[in-house]
């Protein structure tokens, strides 16, 4: 098994008399044609996986013989398969850590105790680092699960699959068929009124999820001895310990046990989709929608993501026949650095063949990148919720992902493992460190600001109905050319005509009264004159409203009203948006700039700017002149820039219209020369992205600016 037979620490363990606990069972598992053995303590549910050769040695341990006597006998009987002394020390320390050994004497050997304490400290630091994922055991459900075995077999067999699959298909079809309504309702899923129901649905669904794991584990003979509460990011959720499934000999049984929770989620999500689509607005509809959302999206993003150590990870590990995939992938990349960067020739890869080499290499890289993204996202989330906790998590992240690896690297470079290649290891490490410092703190890199906006005609006018009425005639179609004063539409308002007639009659009567007062009662003249004045003003106002029922063009251009013809014959209220007259001869780009980025624009410290319109990414439109309005605003230039319109600006959902942002911003405008638009499809209201190039700066300066802006934006420090 090992290339180095003897160890300097052998004398510390050679006199021990140890053996496996009587409660330990040994089960065989096959990984890519090789037989491995899983040592499982049926009482504590502790596990240890060993190769066939190592397991044979472990089984030969007896309290009637010392470790040295057992090892010498094993070497004589199996000289090709015998472990080295160093490997024996490692095996004994791991078995001791897993509480799978017992001894008739008091163990005081230093080698095992040293490894044991190191591993315990590592576990303790891991628990401290993961304090946001605390588990509190509450109940042993194993006896209860044994009593409901008939129900377990019924709900986890082929009959259950015959029900599960049709429900899944119908749920998927229903969700796709109602995708428009689904997207609309998802906008309010995080509304304050829905958050309590969202948590209730998540807690209940998580309970059924964990029950699915427990049922399948029990179906194939596993033990489920722990049920409790897990605090995930300070949110209490149920959990069960179904790790006994790791000892199943059949890998498809292990995969089924891992998939069971997601299968339950998907079933409830499909059932929720069917209920949601067939019920009207109300509590039932809302709960069904929450279940559908949590059971599908959250299950796929978390439990269904193999880059996180949840259900899909264990499924992938069993499917690839690589136990401890994550740990081996990390060790594989450490091997790359040790062998090819530091030059340690004795370093050994964790891969046993080419297939495993590719699995470990690719998975190690992807999981590391994803872990960094998730860790940073969690830190930012906690910073928003509670600043001290977020700072603590961020500090722990920097320690565990940056400072601790650097310390371990320094310890490794100065240790015995690199004694033969110490000069290269120190030189390479120093060169890489100096290169990174120069690259991040000295070398300037391109810097820019990106912002989103819309294209609009410089001369355009929106037309609104000034007086309510019934749309009688529409003289233009969408896209027609217009001249100033040209008729667009005419409306009718019988009530207005009746009121005009009544005012004219009242005015005629008042005029008769005025003439009579001239001859008979001069004292009434003043009152009648006031009445005539009021009626005249009212009549003029009504005539103005009557004139407004004829909609005329105020400028030349193109008529933009794609939906107005659908309202013909309908009664429209005052203020109704009829359409827009657009002059396509000149355009400008209007964008929004966050407060923390506006400083560069106010100082005019940018080099150039380029515009890319949506759907035309291959065409860059240069904008020679940019102006920024020096007043904060919250009203978006277009709804298309906000969340409701498909943009990325957070809006205030309590405000009607969907165009009021949650945070203030500055508006940027840039005229577009006609020569720059050749070859582009220019449409009024088209969105685009403006890239403003800043003077080159080192990566450190750019990162510091980004962090400073983030702190100012989120925490007003």
d(CA 289, CA 188): 11
d(CA 62, CA 436): 55
d(CA 67, CA 7): 14
d(CA 640, CA 657): 11
**H helices within 130-157, ranges in order?**
142-147, 149-156
Which segment of 9-23, 239-253, 336-350 scores lowest on mean pLDDT? 9-23
Tokens of 139: 């109940």
Q: What percent of the chain has pLDDT over 90?
A: 14
Nearest residue to 198 via CA among 287, 302, 301, 292: 287
Gyration radius of the chain over CA positions: 38
pLDDT on residue 3: 45
Instruction: Look up tokens 């107005």; give the residue.
Output: 564
Q: pTM score, two decimals?
A: 0.64
* CATH number listed for the domain at residues 10-127: 3.90.930
Mean pLDDT of 175-196: 77
d(CA 513, CA 530): 12
Tokens of 138: 């509450």
Listed in sequence order, the residues at least 6 apart from 392 whose beta carbon sits closer than 8 Å to its beta carbon are none
615-650 pLDDT, tens per residue? 666 677 777 777 777 777 777 777 767 766 666 676
464-501 pLDDT, tens per residue? 888 999 999 888 888 888 888 889 899 999 988 999 89
Are 226 and 240 a contacting pair, CB within 8 Å? yes
Top pLDDT among 183 and 553 is at 553
Query: Can you say how many angstroms the Cα of residue 660 is from the centroid of all Cα atoms in its chain?
Result: 24
Highest mean pLDDT among 10-14, 21-25, 589-593, 650-654: 589-593
Phi, psi of 100 (to 5 degrees): -105, 0
Per-residue pLDDT for 162 more than 90?
yes
Helix (H) or strand (E) holding 67: helix 67-77
Which regions of 513-626 does DSSP assign to beta strands (E)?
550-552, 557-560, 571-572, 577-582, 587-594, 608-613, 621-622
DSSP bridge pairs for 657: none
Per-residue pLDDT for 104 more than 70?
no
Listed in sequence order, the residues at least 6 apart from 516 whose beta carbon sits closer than 8 Å to its beta carbon are none
d(CA 636, CA 649): 9
Highest mean pLDDT among 28-32, 121-125, 481-485, 709-713: 481-485
pLDDT on residue 579: 86
Phi, psi of 154 (to 5 degrees): -70, -40
The DSSP secondary-structure symbol of 659 reads -
Q: What is the dihedral of CA 428, 430, 432, 435, to 10 degrees?
A: -140
Domain 586-715 fold: Elongation Factor Tu (Ef-tu); domain 3 (2.40.30)
Nearest residue to 128 via CA among 377, 409, 393: 393
Tokens of 607: 């080099």
Tokens of 318: 């069993």
d(CA 262, CA 296): 9
Residues of the chain within CATH 3.90.930 domain(s) are 10-127
Mean pLDDT of the chain: 80
Nearest residue to 667 via CA among 628, 635, 693, 641: 628
DSSP-derived pairing of the beta strands 621-622 and 687-698: unpaired
359-414 pLDDT, tens per residue? 999 999 998 888 888 777 777 766 666 667 667 777 777 777 778 888 888 888 88
Mean pLDDT of 20-36: 70
| Confidence grade of residue 686 (pLDDT, cut at 50, 70, 90) | confident
Tokens of 103: 């001894």
Q: What is the dihedral of CA 356, 359, 360, 366, to 10 degrees?
A: 180
């Amino acid at each position: 098994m090992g290339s180095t037979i003897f160890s300097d620490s052998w004398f510390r363990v050679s006199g021990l008399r140890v053996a496996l606990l009587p409660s330990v069972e040994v089960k065989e598992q096959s990984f890519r044609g090789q037989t491995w053995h899983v040592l499982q303590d049926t009482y504590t549910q502790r596990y240890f996986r060993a190769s066939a050769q190592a397991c044979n040695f472990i089984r030969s341990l007896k309290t009637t013989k010392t470790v040295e006597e057992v090892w010498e006998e094993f070497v004589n009987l199996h000289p090709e398969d015998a472990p080295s002394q160093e490997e024996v020390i490692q095996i004994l320390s791991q078995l001791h850590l897993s509480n799978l050994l017992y001894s008739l004497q008091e163990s005081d050997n230093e080698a095992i105790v040293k490894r044991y304490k190191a591993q315990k400290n590592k576990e303790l630091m891991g628990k401290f680092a993961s304090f946001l994922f605390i588990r509190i055991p509450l109940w042993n459900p194993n006896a209860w699960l044994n009593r409901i075995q008939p129900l377990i077999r019924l709900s986890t067999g082929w009959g259950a699959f015959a029900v599960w699959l049709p429900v899944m298909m119908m749920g998927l079809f229903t969700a796709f068929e109602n995708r428009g309504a689904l997207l609309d309702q998802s906008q309010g899923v995080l509304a304050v009124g829905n958050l309590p129901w969202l948590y209730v649905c998540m807690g209940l669904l998580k309970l059924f999820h964990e029950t699915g794991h427990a049922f399948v584990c029990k179906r194939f003979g596993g033990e489920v001895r722990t049920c409790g509460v897990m605090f995930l990011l300070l949110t209490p959720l149920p959990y069960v310990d179904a790790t006994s499934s790791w000892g199943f000999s059949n890998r498809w049984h292990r995969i089924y046990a891992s998939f069971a929770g997601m299968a339950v989620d998907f079933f409830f999500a499909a059932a929720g989709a069917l209920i949601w689509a067939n019920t009207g607005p109300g509590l039932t509809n809302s709960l069904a929608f929450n279940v559908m959302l949590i059971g599908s999206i959250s299950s796929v993003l978390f439990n269904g993501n193999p880059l996180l150590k949840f259900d899909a990870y264990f499924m992938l590990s069993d499917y690839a026949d690589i136990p401890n995939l994550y740990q081996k992938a990390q060790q594989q990349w450490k091997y790359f650095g040790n062998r090819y960067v530091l030059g340690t020739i004795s370093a050994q890869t964790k891969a046993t063949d080419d297939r495993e080499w590719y699995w470990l290499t690719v998975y190690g890289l992807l999981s590391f990148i994803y872990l960094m993204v998730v860790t940073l996202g969690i830190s930012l989330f906690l910073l928003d919720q509670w600043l001290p906790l977020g700072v603590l998590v961020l500090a722990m992240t920097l320690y565990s992902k940056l400072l601790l690896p650097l310390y371990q690297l320094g310890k490794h470079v100065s240790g015995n493992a690199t004694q033969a290649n110490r000069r290269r290891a120190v030189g390479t490490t120093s060169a890489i460190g100096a290169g990174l410092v120069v690259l991040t703190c000295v070398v300037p890199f391109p810097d820019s600001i990106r912002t989103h906006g819309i294209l609009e005609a410089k001369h355009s006018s929106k037309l609104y109905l000034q007086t309510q009425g019934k749309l009688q005639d529409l003289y233009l179609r969408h896209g027609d050319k217009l001249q100033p004063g040209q008729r667009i539409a005419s409306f009718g308002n019988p009530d207005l005509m009746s009121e005009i007639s009544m005012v004219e009659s009242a005015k005629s009567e008042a005029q008769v009264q005025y003439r009579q007062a001239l001859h008979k009662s001069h004292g009434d003249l003043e009152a009648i004159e006031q009445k005539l004045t009021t009626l005249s003003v009212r009549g003029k106002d009504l005539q103005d409203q009557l004139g407004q029922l004829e909609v005329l063009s105020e400028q030349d251009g193109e008529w933009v009203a794609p939906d107005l013809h659908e309202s013909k014959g309908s009664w429209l209220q005052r203020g109704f948006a009829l359409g827009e007259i657009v002059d396509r001869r000149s355009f400008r780009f209007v964008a929004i700039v966050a407060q923390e980025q506006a400083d560069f624009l106010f100082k005019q410290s940018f080099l150039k700017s380029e515009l890319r319109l949506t759907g035309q990414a291959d065409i860059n439109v240069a904008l020679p002149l940019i102006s920024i309005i020096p007043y904060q605003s919250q009203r978006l230039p277009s709804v298309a820039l906000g969340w409701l319109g498909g943009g990325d600006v957070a809006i205030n959902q309590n405000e009607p219209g969907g165009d009021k942002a949650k945070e203030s911003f500055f508006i940027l405008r840039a005229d577009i020369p006609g020569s720059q638009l050749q070859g582009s499809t220019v449409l009024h209201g088209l969105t685009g992205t403006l890239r403003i190039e800043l003077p080159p700066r080192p990566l450190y300066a750019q990162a510091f600016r980004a962090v400073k802006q983030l702190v100012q934006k989120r925490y007003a420090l």
